[in-house]
Amino acid sequence: MESDVETFWSGFEKEIGEKIVSRTMCQHFNSKKSQGEWGLLVLTESSVRFRPTPGENWFQSLFKIAAPRVSKEPLEDTVLPLNAISNLELPKKHFFDFLFSPPFTVITLRYSVGGEARELLLGIDTKAELFKMLLAAVPHTIGA
């Protein structure tokens, strides 16, 4: 089992052409109200990469009528060069967050592509090593 994991990450590094500094699971959101998709968040010396890991979640499997609708084609990674990230925004803490917020903290990565400002919403475990390394690498603020 452990050699399978090592083989996977070794292949991943060969595929992207960079050494992985840190990695964790995270959730990507299209908007603040979307359900989000799970994937791998990978930090290299020059970029942050989100790789979707499509699959059927446990709730959908309860109501399964047919085979799961998981795409056979690999989904594209979202890759942000670290020097393109202008800000990492942490959410402001509210009193009832521990009851009503998602399991991971939803951060906003603000970045620029071709002069166009964009943002990426990610649900991440703030105890993860990758999160701490990302905070050290890019400017961050606390939002509304």
- Which domain CATH number covers 64? 2.30.29.30
User: How large a percentage of the chain has pLDDT more than 70?
Assistant: 78
Q: How many CB atoms lie within 10 A of CB 121?
A: 17
User: How large a percentage of the chain has pLDDT more than 90?
Assistant: 60
pLDDT of residue 144: 61
* Count of structural domains within the chain: 1
The answer to whether residues 36 and 29 touch, using CB atoms and an 8 Å cutoff, is yes
- Main-chain dihedrals φ then ψ at residue 27, nearest 5 degrees: -125, 135
pLDDT of residue 64 exceeding 60, the answer is no
Q: Which domain holds residue 112?
A: 2-142
**Alpha carbons 90 and 113: distance in angstroms, whole number:** 21
pLDDT of residue 22 exceeding 90, the answer is yes
The answer to whether residues 116 and 64 touch, using CB atoms and an 8 Å cutoff, is no
pLDDT of residue 143: 80
The answer to whether residues 84 and 113 touch, using CB atoms and an 8 Å cutoff, is yes
Q: What mean pLDDT do residues 27-47 have? A: 91
